[in-house]
Amino acid sequence: MLESGKGELTTLEHDVLRSLREHELLSTNVDAESEQAWTFGQRLADRIATFGGSWSFLIVFGILLSLWILMNSLVLLWRPVDPYPFILLNLVLSCLAAIQAPIIMMSQNRQEAKDRLRAEHDYQVNLKAELEIRQLHEKIDHLLSHQWERLVEIQEVQLELLSEIGKRK
């Protein structure tokens, strides 16, 4: 049925057909499968990206910036480490942005790969469900046609019996 509708089948569709023949489940936890293959660096990048995009990071970052500016403006008036216009602070912020941006991009790339895997898995499950529904429709159609044939046979027997009763009278 699938071959007649689509022509040549992909490996994904062959997997679906195999699972139909063998009565296997296709639904699995895609997130758990994809996370097992990650390296330490990839997991670390995700944790850093998660923290870097949180309110905790923004609050801590705001407090540290305020402390830096206060210490170099008010407390250390006689010998500030980084006097106004805070060139060292700008350098640190630039370095932080230069490091944080690729880490976030790595995390987004992995999330995108996970989303593609999840979409492929959803397609497989949906395709299998559609094929099983079509099979159920065919079975019901077959049962209905068989039932109609049986009803016609019963009606013919009844007509024969009625004609025999009519002949006896």
Is the predicted pLDDT of residue 30 greater than 80, yes or no? Answer: no
List the one residue out of 167, 112, 125 whose CA is nearest residue 24: 125
Mean pLDDT to the nearest integer, 32-49: 81
Inter-axis angle of helices 40-52 and 55-70, nearest 10 = 70
Instruction: Write down the pLDDT at residue 43.
Output: 86
**Which of 14-23, 47-56, 84-93, 141-150 is least confident?**
14-23
CB atoms within 10 A of CB 107: 21
Instruction: Write down the pLDDT at residue 38.
Output: 80
Better-scored residue on pLDDT, 4 or 17:
17
25 sits in the region (left: phi over 0; alpha: psi -120 to 50; else beta) called beta
User: How do residues 66-99 score in pLDDT, each as one tens digit?
Assistant: 999 888 887 767 788 888 888 999 999 999 999 9
Instruction: Write down the pLDDT at residue 161.
Output: 92
Q: Are 114 and 30 in contact (CB under 8 A)?
A: yes
User: How do residues 105-128 score in pLDDT, each as one tens digit?
Assistant: 999 988 898 899 888 888 888 888
Instruction: Write down the pLDDT at residue 65.
Output: 93
Reported confidence tier of residue 3, pLDDT bands at 50, 70, 90: low
Reported confidence tier of residue 64, pLDDT bands at 50, 70, 90: very high
User: How do residues 135-149 score in pLDDT, each as one tens digit?
Assistant: 888 889 888 888 988
Is the predicted pLDDT of residue 6 greater than 60, yes or no? Answer: no
The percent of residues above 90 in pLDDT, for the chain, comes to: 29
